[in-house]
């Protein structure tokens, strides 16, 4: 199976965004998508042929602040014909801001911010054991190109941390060095580890003090989508980014998603709702990465929730086939949906047949997590299906 769509991550910081050289592949995709950009805006901002419009000029919420979108209470919502006519009000500030943020997204902002998380970390091999070296540290992290960076803590200086990938039954050794100014402890969420390897300070181990290291050793299993994260001062540490994906492929290759469903692309999708607001893989719209697929391609999305809130993920244009929860195949209980609630700590695997061409909004349907008076933000991306 192919790795996630990640192109080579440019290291250009946002201040040099104008000189950035985004992935040509992805930029090419996005240029193609720009043709469908109006479609995205329509899909995401429905009702496009609205029965209300903002008046021209600034609105009380035009700054895109946290105030809830209350179009009904805006000064003079105008009941307009659903059929456009020359007498309709011109686009207002809301429209202009919504359009501008979509243009930033389609212009490839996601590739101007430097490294992305979820890059697969290749282990070294010691005899029959796969060895991962991880460093916990604090660093500045950009949620998007315009906001000031946030002070993150994370593994190997990305949020999420590197993707750790092994095969069921592998012997795993993960060495965590703590370069934070506070202690930590690391838990492999979803793995049936020996108790001493469970990573909860004062329950199974002393905290990993600043400057110290701790080595976790276990046999990988069960298979599926799992996570690793801090289990010490976790509201703050996980909230600020000390988290990552731990994927255990089934030992029986016939049970992997490429073999079972013909999935040719895999997206790891880790949500968080503390560091810098509402994020997917450490970034908020319009700096989230689009998923780009060919028409007819089948992809798998591994949803993981490292935040403190439930997020119902909604895909426009196509249904998702939900085939596993917390790493466990659902078998005959697999189901189809277009909106999937993912609770904190849960992982759900979705197979998507990309059969409907276009640029499709893909977002959390708790609307204050995704769209406001300044347009879309936070937990929004798009599935771009190229015909
Ligand atoms: Cu949400």
Given a contact cutoff of 8 angstroms between Cβ atoms, the answer to whether 267 and 4 are in contact is yes
Ranges of the chain with pLDDT below 70: 1-89
How many Å lie between the centroid of ligand 1 and the Cα of residue 160? 18
For residue 217, how far is the Cα from the chain centroid? 28
How many Å lie between the centroid of ligand 1 and the Cα of residue 73? 24
Q: How far apart are CA 299 and CA 385, in angstroms?
A: 11
Given a contact cutoff of 8 angstroms between Cβ atoms, the answer to whether 92 and 52 are in contact is no
Other C-beta atoms lying within 10 Å of the C-beta of residue 73: 9
How many Å lie between the centroid of ligand 1 and the Cα of residue 346? 14
Q: How far apart are CA 95 and CA 372, in angstroms?
A: 11
How many Å lie between the centroid of ligand 1 and the Cα of residue 90? 31
Q: How far apart are CA 40 and CA 46, in angstroms?
A: 10
How many Å lie between the centroid of ligand 1 and the Cα of residue 343? 10
Query: Residue 224, class by beta-carbon neighbours within 10 Å (0-12 exposed, 13-18 middle, 19+ buried)?
Result: buried
Other C-beta atoms lying within 10 Å of the C-beta of residue 122: 10
Q: How far apart are CA 300 and CA 265, in angstroms?
A: 6
Given a contact cutoff of 8 angstroms between Cβ atoms, the answer to whether 349 and 323 are in contact is yes
Q: Which long-range contacts (CB under 8 A, 24 or more apart) does 71-76 make?
A: none
Q: What is the pLDDT of residue 85?
A: 53
Given a contact cutoff of 8 angstroms between Cβ atoms, the answer to whether 327 and 226 are in contact is yes
Q: How far apart are CA 379 and CA 370, in angstroms?
A: 5
Q: What is the pLDDT of residue 276?
A: 84
Angle at 302 between CA 264 and CA 201, to 5 degrees: 140
How many Å lie between the centroid of ligand 1 and the Cα of residue 370? 7
How many Å lie between the centroid of ligand 1 and the Cα of residue 323? 21
Neighbours of ion ligand 1 (CB under 5 A): 311, 364, 366, 369
Q: What is the pLDDT of residue 296?
A: 98
How many Å lie between the centroid of ligand 1 and the Cα of residue 368? 8
How many Å lie between the centroid of ligand 1 and the Cα of residue 311? 4
Q: How far apart are CA 20 and CA 287, in angstroms?
A: 14
């Amino acid at each position: 199976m192919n790795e996630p769509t990640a192109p080579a991550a440019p290291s250009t910081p946002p201040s040099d965004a104008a000189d950035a050289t985004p992935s040509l592949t992805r930029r090419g995709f996005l240029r193609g998508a720009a043709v469908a950009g109006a479609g995205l805006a329509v899909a995401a901002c429905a009702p496009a042929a609205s029965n209300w419009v903002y008046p021209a000029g600034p609105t009380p919420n035009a700054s895109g602040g946290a105030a809830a979108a209350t179009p009904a209470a805006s000064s003079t919502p105008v009941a307009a014909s659903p059929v456009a006519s020359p007498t309709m009000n011109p686009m207002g500030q809301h429209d202009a801001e919504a359009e501008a943020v979509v243009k930033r997204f389609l212009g490839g902002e996601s590739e101007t911010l430097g490294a992305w998380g979820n890059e697969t970390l290749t282990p070294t091999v010691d005899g029959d054991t796969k060895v991962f070296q991880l460093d916990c540290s604090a660093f500045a992290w950009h949620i998007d190109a315009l906001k000031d960076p946030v002070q993150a803590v994370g593994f190997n200086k990305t949020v999420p941390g590197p993707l750790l990938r092994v095969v069921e039954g592998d012997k795993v050794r993960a060495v965590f060095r703590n370069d934070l100014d506070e202690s930590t402890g690391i838990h492999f969420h979803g793995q049936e580890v020996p108790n001493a390897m469970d990573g909860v300070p004062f329950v199974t181990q002393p905290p990993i003090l600043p400057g110290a290291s701790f080595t976790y050793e276990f046999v990988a299993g069960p298979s599926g989508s799992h996570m690793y994260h801090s289990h010490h001062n976790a509201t703050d540490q996980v909230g600020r980014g000390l988290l990552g994906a731990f994927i255990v492929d089934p030992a029986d290759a016939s049970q992997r998603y490429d073999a079972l469903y013909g999935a040719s692309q895999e997206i790891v999708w880790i949500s968080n709702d503390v560091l810098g607001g509402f994020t997917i893989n450490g970034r908020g719209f319009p700096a989230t990465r689009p998923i780009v697929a060919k028409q007819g391609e089948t992809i798998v999305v591994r949803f993981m929730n490292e935040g403190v809130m439930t997020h119902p993920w909604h895909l426009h244009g196509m249904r998702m086939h939900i085939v596993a929860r917390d790493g466990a195949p659902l078998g005959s209980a697999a189901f189809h949906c277009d909106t999937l609630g993912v609770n904190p700590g849960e992982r759900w695997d979705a197979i998507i047949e990309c059969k409907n061409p276009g640029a499709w909004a893909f977002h959390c349907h708790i609307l204050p997590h995704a769209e406001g008076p300044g347009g879309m933000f936070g937990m929004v991306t798009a599935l771009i299906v190229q015909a």
